[in-house]
Chains A and B, each alone.
Chain A
Amino acid sequence: MKSSEYVVSDGCVFGFSRPPPAPVPLPVKESAAPRLRVRSLTKLFYGVEVLKNLSFEAHAGRILGIVGENGSGKSTAMNVLTGVLAKDGGSIELDGSPFGPTSRRASDAAGIAFIQQELNVFPNLSVAENLFLLHAPRSIDALPFMSRRKRRARAKALLERLELPVSPDAPAGLLSVGERQLLEIGRGLAREARVFILDEPTTSLTEHETTRLFEILRSLRKNGVAILYISHNLDHVLDLSDDLLVLRDGRVTLASPRAQLTAQDLIVAMVGRPIETLFPARSCAGGTEVRLEAAGLSSPGRFRGVSLSVHAGEIVGLAGLMGSGRTELARCLFGLDPYSEGCIRVAGERLTPQNVKASIEAGCAFLTEDRRHEGLMLEASVFDNLALAALPLYAPHLGGRILKQKLARTLRELTSRLHLKSGAVESTPVRTLSGGNQQKVVLGRWLLRQPKVLILDEPTRGVDIAAKEEIYRLLAELANAGMAIFLISSELEELTGLSDRILVMHAGALVARFTRREFDRETILRAAFGHAPTA
């Protein structure tokens, strides 16, 4: 059995080409009561109020976009709505009747589908088993025996509705992240859920998959489902929502129809002040010393003929669509993957191909796009995480005495420079930090080695706006101090705001280069889509 056998329609994994399916209307109760009404909800953690009189409404057939920084209470509110946490005060009504779920099972039975950032799809179960895990169709209703035939047929119908061209019998482990997400939506559809809650659904989706997800959410809306859509991506939220809700410190700071709202309005409501200068001023445009250089780098099937250079004190941005080969290029530059032609030099020294240790010794650092696999010890403190990386520098040899005081001093300097917002760096487990602060810890670990070249792949994915601003400032500081920075990002704003130069990659080749004066969103985007300027 090859994996491709599970693909039903002509070998194409994502069946995007067909028109959206005709909406199957769900029973919509015609009543004036909103689908979900939350009134003065309060929640305390150890006596600290994390939700303070939170009130909002979500209506059937509308998408409610929810934004807020990490720690603003979004997740807590959703956990209360779905029965994971118990509320300490206030009331919730579902279609006009009081609602107080005590477990996920209860909220699921009430028709609330909760699709979390970390997907709950089981790779060892088949697609159909995943869809009907909780409510498997029975052969006879009174008996506990499942009907696999019915389950298969219903799963097939659902998959068609989601335009997911996979067989119901395929192991879910063969699906991509985007397809797994659709599977979770399918689980909600199977339950005929009245409310869909999505938490940061697009962070690991390709652009294609994101578009597909939005199509499906819009068709759900047409069918009279209420959707709560949580995201840090303001463009997505503005694009999709009918109503908007902004939370700050457990309070609602903005609740209104989408209408005339702009991203700036949302930021003001989220942060409490306008962040006009999200990007720090860049003082110099880079020195003359070439720190990172690639000449004629090729890797079959990934990219070809890539030549680039990054100077000391310079930030060079790399733009490109997902799958253009940017991540693969970064991995090669850092020595993680092999290449067939060309060479890489760091500070003039030629690097041995595919040798991470040599790259690190030559002064390279690499922040990958996948923070969860960066090897942070989640249960250990910030201090211990940083200390582990620094140990080789503060213990002369294996079995040697650790220079504790020197180490502690260095780490204190570092944490204050990183603006780490965590209770006590010595005792707070990294697990409890927000995404932005975790990213800073990862960055800090690399900085301890005082790298000459810093390569970053999507450093601000899933990070809230205030933490973003701090990471930007830190990067600018590092560049001003002479570090060479190679920045890969999907966010054009980020690239144009920070970079001195921008390179654009399309289908495995560098197709355009821009200097700061030439930055223009549209031109860069066109180049990324393969329409490079002729000049």
Chain B
Amino acid sequence: MKAVPQAAIARILQRGLPFVLVLGLIVIFASASPRFLAVENLTAIVVQSSWLIVVALGVQCTLLVSGIDLSVGSMMFLSAVILGLGLRSEPPWVGLLAALGVGAVWGAINGLLIARLRVPAFIATLAMLFVGRGLGLLLSSTQVVYANAAVADFGRGGFLSVPLPLATAGITLAVVWIVLRRTPFGPYVRSIGADAESARKVGVPTVAVTFGVYVLCGALAGLGGFISFSQTASASPAFGQNAEFLAIAAAVLGGTSLSGGRGELWAPIVGALLIMTIQNGLVMVNANPYAYPVITGAVIFFAALLDSVRSRFQGRTALRGDRPDRVSASLAQTP
């Protein structure tokens, strides 16, 4: 029974490791800086993770259909620029809906390119990354864009002492959870991620589902842009830069497979918290600011390594499912 340990290793890599990492980091940072464990600081980490959780949830959906969305960082920037320039003194929910809407349209373009025109997701969204950043810079004339008072209040505000950004992330999670777990959309998404051709043959509406996934991802990226914009109250030309990599790393660190079809819903949350813990901890221990990109890069590399190790174990266990050990079975039978 060599099967059990390997399957167990695969499961530990999939489920347990992210939690172990978060705990380990907390221990390290706490021992290096006494302020790290302060309640205000831990709360700040969670609240600052809100936008990343929202964006990573969308990116995870694209990973689940064996795709990817590299344009989410640019989408965040575009959403912030449009809100900063377009809003006067409207209430914050107008900004929130506008961000969702702009993001959905953006996602629809991605979806059209990928699902209908069959452009590889990597290329299509890479192109959209540049288009989005460029559009944002054009609109803002490369100037810093400021949020109006209503939007900035949203970033600081709370409802029943729950910070609004965090509440928004919570509601987003609930909606995505219902869509992926309680409607046929979820199994459709994962069947496409496993084998799109098979899914089509079985009768899954693959084009519509893939399109839907990118619309969802775009909308959530727009929403993530709104949350982050409301928290910082301004958007420089570098706003949201590299957010796509943080979002992908968050999903993968939490256990989502880069090769599609596998990943739990809480994965982006754990991954986002992990990344934000690292960033916060580095500030707390007064690390050299130029070390941040190095550490972030190492985290992304680690996420990818984890995924490749994980899929190797999964590959082996899946293979065993394909061909059970017939020989030992027949040796056990007495004629």
Distance between Cα atoms of A274 and B321 in the complex (Å): 42
Which partner residue on chain A sits nearest B182 by CB separation?
A: A145
B-binding segment of A115-123, A390-398, A407-415: A115-123
Output the residue of B183, B184, B317 with the most chain A CB within 10 A: B184
Q: Check if A457 is an interface residue, CB within 8 A of chain B.
A: no
A-binding segment of B200-208, B224-232, B234-242: B200-208
**Contact yes or no, A2 B321, CB < 8 A:** no
Q: Check if B193 is an interface residue, CB within 8 A of chain A.
A: yes
- Chain A contact-residue range equals 35 or more
Q: Check if A399 is an interface residue, CB within 8 A of chain B.
A: no
**Contact yes or no, A321 B330, CB < 8 A:** yes
Contacts of A529 in B (CB 8 A): 335
The contact string, 1 if C-beta is below 8 Å from chain A, for chain B 69-93, is: 0000000000000000000000000
Which partner residue on chain B sits nearest A324 by CB separation?
A: B330
**Contact yes or no, A322 B326, CB < 8 A:** yes
**Contact yes or no, A125 B187, CB < 8 A:** yes
Contacts of A324 in B (CB 8 A): 327, 330
**Contact yes or no, A134 B203, CB < 8 A:** yes
Q: Of residues 316 to 346 in A, which have CB atoms within 8 Å of B's CB atoms?
A: 321-325, 328
Contacts of B204 in A (CB 8 A): 133-134
Min Cβ gap A328→B in Å is 6
Q: Which of B3, B188, B201, B330 contacts A116 (CB 8 A)?
A: B201
**Contact yes or no, B323 A105, CB < 8 A:** no
Contacts of A322 in B (CB 8 A): 326, 330
With A108-B203, A123-B194 known as contacts, the answer to whether A174 contacts B321 (CB < 8 A) is: yes
**Contact yes or no, B187 A129, CB < 8 A:** yes
Contacts of B194 in A (CB 8 A): 122-125
Q: Check if A508 is an interface residue, CB within 8 A of chain B.
A: yes
Q: Of residues 1 to 28 in B, which have CB atoms within 8 Å of A's CB atoms?
A: 3-4, 7, 11
Q: Check if A206 is an interface residue, CB within 8 A of chain B.
A: yes
**Contact yes or no, A323 B190, CB < 8 A:** no
Q: Check if B295 is an interface residue, CB within 8 A of chain A.
A: no
Q: Check if A90 is an interface residue, CB within 8 A of chain B.
A: no
**Contact yes or no, A507 B323, CB < 8 A:** no
Distance between Cα atoms of A322 and B182 in the complex (Å): 42
Q: Check if B329 is an interface residue, CB within 8 A of chain A.
A: yes
Which partner residue on chain B sits nearest A123 by CB separation?
A: B318
Min Cβ gap B183→A in Å is 5
**Contact yes or no, A508 B11, CB < 8 A:** no
Distance between Cα atoms of A325 and B200 in the complex (Å): 38
**Contact yes or no, B183 A144, CB < 8 A:** yes
Contacts of B183 in A (CB 8 A): 144-146
Min Cβ gap B221→A in Å is 24
With A116-B201, A177-B322 known as contacts, the answer to whether A328 contacts B327 (CB < 8 A) is: yes
Contacts of A124 in B (CB 8 A): 190, 193-194, 261-262
Min Cβ gap A188→B in Å is 11
Q: Of residues 119 to 142 in A, which have CB atoms within 8 Å of B's CB atoms?
A: 120-125, 129, 133-134, 136
**Contact yes or no, B327 A325, CB < 8 A:** yes
Contacts of A1 in B (CB 8 A): 7, 11
Q: Which of B3, B202, B322, B330 contacts A507 (CB 8 A)?
A: B330
Q: Check if A13 is an interface residue, CB within 8 A of chain B.
A: yes
Q: Which of A105, A122, A530 contacts B190 (CB 8 A)?
A: A122
Min Cβ gap A511→B in Å is 10
Distance between Cα atoms of A514 and B191 in the complex (Å): 50
Output the residue of B203, B324, B327 with the most chain A CB within 10 A: B203
Contacts of A104 in B (CB 8 A): 200-203
Min Cβ gap B278→A in Å is 30
The contact string, 1 if C-beta is below 8 Å from chain A, for chain B 307-335, is: 00000000001100111101111110101
Which partner residue on chain A sits nearest B64 by CB separation?
A: A124
Distance between Cα atoms of A129 and B186 in the complex (Å): 10
Contacts of A176 in B (CB 8 A): 321-324
Distance between Cα atoms of A124 and B260 in the complex (Å): 10
Q: Check if B198 is an interface residue, CB within 8 A of chain A.
A: yes
With A122-B190, A122-B191, A125-B194 known as contacts, the answer to whether A3 contacts B3 (CB < 8 A) is: yes
Distance between Cα atoms of A187 and B333 in the complex (Å): 32
Q: Of residues 173 to 219 in B, which have CB atoms within 8 Å of A's CB atoms?
A: 178, 182-185, 187-188, 190-191, 193-195, 198-205
Q: Which of A121, A122, A508 contacts B331 (CB 8 A)?
A: A508
The contact string, 1 if C-beta is below 8 Å from chain B, for chain A 76-105, is: 000000001000000000000000000111
Distance between Cα atoms of A301 and B7 in the complex (Å): 21
Q: Check if A302 is an interface residue, CB within 8 A of chain B.
A: yes
Q: Of residues 247 to 295 in B, which have CB atoms within 8 Å of A's CB atoms?
A: 261-262
Contacts of A323 in B (CB 8 A): 326-327, 329-330
Contacts of B203 in A (CB 8 A): 103-105, 108, 134
Distance between Cα atoms of A124 and B64 in the complex (Å): 11
Contacts of B321 in A (CB 8 A): 123, 171-176
Min Cβ gap A254→B in Å is 30
Distance between Cα atoms of A530 and B191 in the complex (Å): 44
Contacts of A145 in B (CB 8 A): 178, 182-183
Distance between Cα atoms of A335 and B11 in the complex (Å): 32
Q: Check if A440 is an interface residue, CB within 8 A of chain B.
A: no
**Contact yes or no, B330 A146, CB < 8 A:** no
Q: Check if A506 is an interface residue, CB within 8 A of chain B.
A: yes
Q: Of residues 1 to 24 in A, which have CB atoms within 8 Å of B's CB atoms?
A: 1-3, 13
**Contact yes or no, A105 B327, CB < 8 A:** no
Min Cβ gap B309→A in Å is 18
Distance between Cα atoms of A174 and B184 in the complex (Å): 22
Contacts of A84 in B (CB 8 A): 201
Min Cβ gap A183→B in Å is 12
**Contact yes or no, B323 A177, CB < 8 A:** yes
Contacts of A2 in B (CB 8 A): 3-4, 7
**Contact yes or no, A133 B331, CB < 8 A:** no
Distance between Cα atoms of A506 and B334 in the complex (Å): 11
Contacts of A321 in B (CB 8 A): 330
**Contact yes or no, A301 B198, CB < 8 A:** no
**Contact yes or no, A133 B188, CB < 8 A:** yes
Contacts of B329 in A (CB 8 A): 323
**Contact yes or no, B318 A173, CB < 8 A:** yes
Distance between Cα atoms of A321 and B182 in the complex (Å): 46
Output the residue of B188, B199, B330, B333 with the most chain A CB within 10 A: B330
Q: Which of A3, A118, A134, A302 contacts B7 (CB 8 A)?
A: A3
Which partner residue on chain B sits nearest A320 by CB separation?
A: B330
**Contact yes or no, B200 A530, CB < 8 A:** no
Q: Of residues 127 to 176 in B, which have CB atoms within 8 Å of A's CB atoms?
A: none
Contacts of A134 in B (CB 8 A): 184, 202-204
With A2-B7, A122-B195, A122-B261 known as contacts, the answer to whether A133 contacts B187 (CB < 8 A) is: yes
Give 9 CB contacts A-B under 8 Å.
Answer: A103-B203, A104-B203, A122-B199, A123-B318, A129-B190, A133-B191, A146-B183, A173-B318, A176-B321
Assuming A2-B4, A104-B202, what are 7 further A-B pairs, CB within 8 angstroms?
A134-B184, A145-B178, A177-B323, A302-B327, A323-B330, A325-B330, A531-B335
User: Which 3 A-B pairs give the minimum distances between C-beta atoms?
Assistant: A530-B335, A323-B330, A323-B326
